[in-house]
A and B are shown apart, each in its own frame.
Chain A
Amino acid sequence: MKRFIISSIVFLAICFCCIEVFLVPISFAFEQAAYKSKNLDPYCRINFVTECNDTNADLLIIGNSRAKDSYNDVLLSELTGLKCLNLAMAGYPFDFQYHIMYKTYIKHNVTPKYILMEIGPFSFFDYSTPKYTIEMLPYIDREEFQFYYDICPELSYKDHYRIIRYAGKYEEMVSQIMKIKESDSNYKNELQANQVLKDDTVANPKENYEKNYLKKKTFNVEKNPDIIKLFKSFMSECEDQKIQVILVCSPIHTTDGTSHFDMEGFWNLITDIIKGHEIKILNYQNLFEDNTTYFANSMHLNSYGKNCFTRRIAHDLDSLNILHHDAQSK
């Protein structure tokens, strides 16, 4: 009996040592690789925001992958004379962007003067992240840890987060991330919407559009009421803090000005949300239409499109006198 108990303890101790001695450095190396890799976007972005201490941007860009691919913050800073920072995060819904990206940023920085929010068909979509779970194995654990760490810095011992997570102290956070992960029915919708053009728009846009979209009905992206509610409260929060919010819909690949998303429903909802608020809206939905020179896929600009669009937005912000700040005189 004693032998069994001692063996079990020794076995656990060796496991622990192996993990500590060999695997933590390996994980760290993976982490660094992940940090530098463009493919591991959510992971990098969460790390990025935790490192944005005292950046104190004047203009903060918030949104999903469309925001990430539409605004070059360095270029925008040059053009507007403002300190701009793109906090966009691909593949996560607004509640995640708000609670994780924005709130973490705000903890260590002064309140921005302007918030440029990307809006589009997926703004109120509660899409989950299983795709990233797969892509990011084995980094997903780290990412989840970071998720908790951002909110509870006392969780400094990284490798014990699983036990800590299950101790019940962070139930709310767990349920939040589980909610994001488990809404896989929504995720399927997102896949369905993005699937075709992601692969071949650029190669053969017209043919693929006809083949894949014309036979389909208008795609109505599900809007999550909780996210809409949070979005509304965020608008009020910005107003209270005297932050000028600019809602921008960056270009979507369209044919004859028609997108396969239900944009009318979307704009009705936006109109309803901003009612009573002093919010500027800029709609570039049809700016590039089906000119594939600018697009990476149906919903995202390529790097050339990103820079072109950044120039355009900088110009419009200036000409429409939206940015009435000191830097404009520079």
Chain B
Amino acid sequence: MLFNSYEFLLFLPITFLLYWFAFRKRKWQNLLIIVASYIFYGWWDWRFLLLIALTSACSYISGILIERSNGNRKRQRLVSVANIVINLGILGVFKYYNFFVENLDVLFGALGWHLDWVAINIILPVGISFYTFQALSYTIDVYQKKVTATHDIVEFFAYISFFPQLVAGPIERATNLLPQFQQQRHFDYVKAVDGMRQMLWGFLKKLVIADNCAIIVNQYWDWYDGLSGVSLFLLGVLFTFQLYCDFSGYSDIAIGCARLFGFNLMQNFNFPYFSRSIPEFWRRWHISLTTWFRDYIYFPLGGSRCDKWKTIRNVYIVWSLSGLWHGADWTFVCWGLFHATLLAIYNIFGIKTKYKDIVAKGHYLPNIKETFQMAVTFFLVVIGWIIFRSENMTQAYNYLKSMCTNDLIDSSPFYGKKLLIYCIIFIIIEWIQREKLYALDISGIRSAKLKWLICLSVAITIYLFMSTSISTFIYFQF
């Protein structure tokens, strides 16, 4: 079920009313969350439910087994590894099997052997990478004794399948979300209203910016021969906004929705396009995934507490895996390597990246240095997204090449100019609100009337400018 669908418009209030009025006890509320989440997820395809149930069951059992083997570190490790293998095995079969077969086929094709008969037709379950990583983090945390294993199967299944963040994150850690399922929730008016506002802003991002940008981007992307260098760059910028608004819009809706049910999810985006460096960008973009890779792969590899070259190696390993996490395609791997290279450059030259605060904190405008830093970072990010968006590396190469070699400006019609104005207005609002958790965080305004007026304006803007075609979220495919 999509957040931007009419089914969800009915599903949410029904679940909300049942949750707070009919199922007041914590256990019943958790059970309701499982039922609602399975309906939400099964709406795509009921067969997906078997997978999520299997993933949940494996992690639940492995958590208990790890705890029972207390004192036997070897056995704990064995259980932990077995769970990781099962979960990654499921992910591998459903997401990467055909990718590897295709590549092996190309490799062996040179020798005259063809493996194309081994390829199978598998549907990629929506959001499989998200809940698999969430389940994995639980087992690893139990193994590392960061969290105690839960024996309540209902709360664990509810934790894995919690519908607001099930298909596109944030990838929650057991340390943050699981305890919330273990406590009695009480309705909090301020929190719920804040959640509604965040949802509203998420819908604006998705329906007005992302979906409208998608029309132009999808229309022109393959047509790099016929557009000027400037138009191609602007198209890349539109995709940059599309992706951001699509994904962070989803996160806003998810976080806001969770708040209606009394849960606090982690912040997933923190105004990433105002970053002054690539490392800062990655501390602000898809925070739940970046920190996941940091905690479970980068740190165990040694992180940055080893010599420079090993650090760079670690960066490359993490970013190749991160690229692969996004999709079974070389474009994603190359995109990951592109960012790894940028991070390595920052590392080698010791460029300052650890900014504590958001840019120009307490000021209306950034200074010249900050503006330059943000522009460079944004440009590099756009280049990365162009690789990310391309269907294959040839297209990515041709696109980037055309951007440099085509005429700088031409007279061919590029209909994205109007959307760029939308994007500029949007980014100005984000800039003004950059010190808040999200752009429509108006809890600091005292006048209730003004708050209502702002929210009404946003709602009407959505109604007026939303794209008419109902489209899925980009990150579902990951």
B189 interfacial by beta-carbon distance below 8 Å: yes
* Chain B, range 416-472, C-beta contacts under 8 Å to A: 418, 452, 455-456, 459-460, 463-465, 468-470
Listed A/B pairs (23) with beta-carbon separation below 8 Å: A1-B189, A3-B189, A4-B193, A7-B193, A14-B452, A18-B456, A19-B460, A130-B216, A130-B219, A131-B219, A131-B415, A134-B215, A137-B212, A138-B464, A141-B468, A166-B470, A167-B6, A178-B469, A184-B218, A191-B226, A192-B226, A195-B413, A200-B411
Q: When the two chains form the complex, which single residue of B411, B455, B465 contacts A137, counting CB atoms closer than 8 Å?
A: B465
B158 within 8 A of A: no
Q: Which A residues lie within 8 Å of B72 (CB)?
A: none
B219/A23 in contact, CB under 8 A: no
Q: Which 5 A-B pairs give the minimum distances between C-beta atoms? A: A134-B415, A166-B6, A130-B219, A15-B459, A1-B187
Question: Using an 8 Å CB-CB cutoff, how does the interface string of B317-329 with A read, 1 for contact, 0 for none?
Answer: 0000000000000
Residue of A nearest to B191 (CB): A4
- B residues in contact with A15, CB < 8 Å: 456, 459-460, 463
Interchain Cβ contacts within 8 Å, total number: 76
**Does A135 count as interface, using CB distance less than 8 angstroms?**
yes
Q: Are A133 and B215 in contact (CB under 8 A)?
A: yes
Give Cα A11–Cα B197 distance, bound, in whole angstroms: 12
In this assembly, does A187 line the interface, its C-beta being within 8 Å of a C-beta of chain B?
yes
**Chain A residues near B218 (CB-CB < 8 A):** 130, 184
B20 in contact (CB, < 8 A) = yes
Interface set, chain A 106-152, CB cutoff 8 A to B: 130-131, 133-135, 137-138, 140-141, 144
Docked Cα-Cα span, A47 to B193, in Å, equals: 43
Q: Contact residues of A with B, CB < 8 Å?
A: 1, 3-4, 7-8, 11, 14-15, 18-19, 23, 130-131, 133-135, 137-138, 140-141, 144, 162-163, 166-167, 178, 181, 184-185, 187-188, 191-192, 195, 199-200
Say whether chain B's binding surface is mostly helix, strand, loop, or mixed.
helix
Task: Give 9 new A-B contacts, CB below 8 A, not counting A1-B187, A18-B460, A137-B418.
Answer: A4-B193, A18-B456, A19-B463, A131-B415, A166-B470, A188-B222, A188-B223, A191-B226, A192-B223
CA distance A287 to B103 in the complex (A): 55
Shortest beta-carbon distance, B410 to chain A, in Å? 9
Contact A134 B459, beta carbon cutoff 8 Å:
no
Complex Cα spacing A178 to B456, Å: 30
* A contact residues around B393 at 8 Å (CB): none
B363 to chain A, nearest CB (A): 34
Q: Given A1-B187, A15-B460, A18-B456, decide whether A184 and B5 contact each other with a Cβ distance below 8 A.
A: no
Residues of B contacting A1 in the complex (Cβ-Cβ under 8 angstroms): 20, 187, 189
**B469 touching A181 by the CB < 8 A rule?**
yes
Chain A at the B interface: SS class:
helix
Q: State whether A185 touches B452 (Cβ < 8 A).
A: no
Instruction: Report chain B residues within 8 Å CB of A163.
Output: 6
Rounded to whole Å, the gap between the CB of A105 and the closest CB of chain B is 25
- Complex-state Cα separation, A14 to B187, whole angstroms: 25
Assess whether B415 is in contact with A135, with CB atoms less than 8 Å apart.
yes
Of A8, A11, A131, which one neighbours B456 at CB under 8 angstroms?
A11
Chain B residues, Cβ within 8 Å of A8: 196
Q: Chain A residues near B455 (CB, 8 Å)?
A: 11
Closest to A138 in B: B464
Q: Which residues of A contact B223 (CB under 8 A)?
A: 188, 191-192
Q: Which residue of A lies closest to B416 (CB)?
A: A134
User: What is the chain B residue whose CB lies nearest that of A185?
Assistant: B222
Please, which residues of chain B bring their CB within 8 A of the CB of A187?
A: 219
Contacting pair A130 B215 (CB below 8 A): yes
Q: Tell me the residues in window 184-201 of chain B with beta carbons closer than 8 Å to chain A beta carbons.
A: 187, 189, 192-193, 196
Asked if B412 is at the interface (CB within 8 A of a chain A CB), the reply is yes
Chain A residues whose CB sits within 8 angstroms of the CB of B412 once the complex forms: 195, 199
- A11 adjacent to B226 (CB under 8 Å): no
Distance, CA A195 to CA B87, complexed state (A): 51
Q: How far is the CB of A12 from chain B (nearest CB, A)?
A: 9
